[in-house]
Structure 1
């Protein structure tokens, strides 16, 4: 009888100690996260025909919102990195000017001095308890 009681106490103590670790709140799944389309052309020299409204309003270049992620609200988005093959200084300058709006819409202002090239962006999603990076998910092509 004492042996059974002792075993029961050990099992209960093990459950109590094992159950005391902190479990993160909610969930975050980014395996299917993407932008569709995932590329945006940024013209350094605006075209009066195609960019008339942008020129009038000083409007920035804006991607669509990120799709395909799931998670417990509130999900915050931030720019993790910007890369450009053979153009690290340009990538750093591009990242300084890039921002993100709610639901992951990427915003790049007009009138910057970033060199022409392809700039590939990775975005971090964070919510209570989780943080994941969607690598190389959007490309800006800067042309003159």
Structure 2
């Protein structure tokens, strides 16, 4: 009798699980922090001369009291020069390394996405009132963790671009509209 009951229960369980999709996908709390990124059209790579703080400390600061007991001002200057310490230094622009190393503009990863792996993320739509959405779509890529990437050198016109993403996992798929904003300046 127990065997018949177990067989009936097994058949019921198998029949009741027929329409349940595999895995799960939860994106109700999904979002980016921060939810926008500024991408520059023209990189600031210019170098400018600025006062050297080490020179200021050793030549004009607290060290000069000690140094001037043993050296003249000119001897101390020559000694600092021999140690490659000069009055000014060359300060590179904020985008110097990005340009030199071709570092792309990258957003943070999306947060709040849970589900059965693999979760495939694709860009479904780019909307812009003051830019060229097609040009942005040509350059924009998304990684598997939702990070959006724009190349360092691009020809995307200035504007605000709203990005929509599509998430697909085993048995489920969802779309998030206007989840991220890219500002090209």
Which residue in the other structure is 1:37 paired with? Answer: 34
Provide structure 1 residue ranges, at least 5 long, that are not aligned to the other structure. 1-14
Distance 1:24 1:141, change over 3 A: same
Q: Is 1:94 aligned with 2:91?
A: no
Q: Which residue of 1 aligns with 2:148?
A: 106
| Structure 2 gaps, min length 5 | 1-11, 46-92
Mapped partners of 1:20, 1:62: distance in 2: 42
Name whichever structure is richer in helix by fraction.
2
User: Normalised by the size of structure 2, how large is the TM-score?
Assistant: 0.64
The question of whether the paired residues in 1 share the 8 Å contact of 2:40 and 2:184 is answered with: yes
Q: Structure 1 length normalisation: TM-score?
A: 0.81
Q: What residue in structure 2 maps to residue 3 of structure 1?
A: none
> Residue 19 of structure 1: CA displacement?
3.3
* Residue 58 (1) aligns with residue 102 (2): yes
Q: Distance in 2 between matches of 1:69 and 1:101?
A: 14
Q: Name the structure where strand makes up a greater proportion of residues.
A: 1
- Is 1:72 aligned to residue 72 of structure 2? no
- What is the Cα deviation at residue 20 of structure 1? 6.9
Q: CA RMSD in A?
A: 2.0
How many residues align? The count is: 128
Structure 1 stretches of 4+ moved >3 Å? 18-22
